[in-house]
Homo-oligomer: A and B are copies of this chain.
Amino acid sequence: MATIYDVAKKAGVGIGTVSRALNDSPNISPETKEKVLRVVREMGYKPHALARGLARKRTGAIGAVVPFFTNYFFIELLKGIQNEVSRLGYDLVLFSADDVSRGEEILERIVRESRVDAVLYVSMPLSDKVLRRVQSLRVPVVLVDQFHPNADSIYVENHRAAYKATRFMIEQGYRRLGMINGQLRSRPARERQEGFLQAVREADLQVRLEWLVECDNLDGQDGFNAPAGYRAMRMLLELRERPEALFVASDVQAYGALRALREAGVRVPDDLALIGFDDIQTSELVGLTTVRQPMFEMGRLAVRRLGNRLKGSDDGLWHKALETELVIRQTCAGGRS
């Protein structure tokens, strides 16, 4: 493997000069620079990333800690993240927390080991203790799809979104409303629940606890997956009295629920209407009425924020709440039949 010394020798200059040629330093004459760069090209030389990082005290990488991504929501997010990361000239290092509780461990490790210059911490809660420790190491962190008063974060207006979706169901004439939610230890899940409940209460409708299902966590993803949605729906179907319309906390859960409904021969939306949350790519085809989150945008903006922090500008706390949009398709539309 060629090093900077080889290049220097071959070009008949010192190593400092090679470095200057490669890093667009102003302190080098155009002729020398050209001479050096020609040799560099000839040899196909590229500086060793680790050595460079060690000397510069930066890795050139941005990390993303993500709970294991079975949920396509993370993919849409990742697209936005990847897009902006490479626009900034960084590499994206992906860390998956197969268990939500291991996220903090990963976060602290990669920061302490200086594996990345900045981190996106996605969809997982962050304790005060770990947050403080990470911040003391001066590595920028942005929480995505999550909130903490002392950390930069970006998320959608979950409460409002849930409220709007629920209002819509009510306006369509549905009165017996239920909700399939993720695990309530997830903050977005709690917020969506509150928005839902607020709308229900404001409309003077009855809140039936058995229609409020918190998905199980068998698959270790806080319930945000299709099988959990399927199981939740199965439970609901066994009740003597069923709701007329359901607000489901994510599209993938709604997919599971739809499957259970189809198996049970329940017609959608005639017998039971459904609104999801996310609007992942396939939901259009499925005809799922859902709340669209700007996932790509969320990923991009989160990384952009990291970029600003890395450039040193723009200190202080940053909280960005994004708007959602109710997308009306077939699973809840056209009013109570």
B-contacting residues of A (Cβ < 8 Å)?
A: 1, 44-51, 53-54, 59, 61, 68-70, 72, 75, 78-79, 82-83, 86, 91-96, 98, 109, 112-115, 133, 137, 226, 252, 255, 258-259, 281-282, 284-286
Contact = CB atoms under 8 A, between A and B. Distances in A.
Nearest to A114: B48
Nearest to A86: B96
A114 B286 contact: no
A69 B77 CA distance: 11
Given A258-B285, A284-B259, A82 B94 contact: yes
A113 B226 contact: no
Contacts of A48: 54, 113-114
14 contacts: A44-B112, A46-B112, A46-B113, A50-B54, A50-B59, A51-B54, A68-B79, A68-B82, A69-B78, A70-B79, A86-B96, A226-B281, A226-B285, A258-B285
B69 A113 contact: no
B46 A93 contact: no
A79 B86 contact: no
A96 B75 contact: no
Given A49-B59, A68-B82, A72-B75, 20 more contacts: A1-B137, A44-B133, A46-B113, A47-B113, A48-B113, A50-B50, A50-B59, A51-B54, A69-B78, A69-B79, A70-B79, A70-B281, A72-B281, A83-B98, A86-B95, A86-B98, A91-B93, A92-B96, A255-B281, A255-B285
A109 to B, nearest CB: 7
Contacts of A281: 70, 72, 226, 252, 255
B113 A96 contact: no
Chain B CB within 10 Å — which of A72, A114, A259 has the most?
Answer: A114
Contacts of A54: 48, 50-51, 54
Nearest to A44: B112
B282 A114 contact: no
A49 B282 contact: no
A114 B49 contact: yes
A3 to B, nearest CB: 11
Contacts of A286: 282, 285-286
Contacts of A47: 113
A186 to B, nearest CB: 21
A109 B286 CA distance: 41
A109 B49 CA distance: 10
Contacts of A255: 281-282, 285
Contacts of A69: 75, 78-79
Contacts of A45: 112
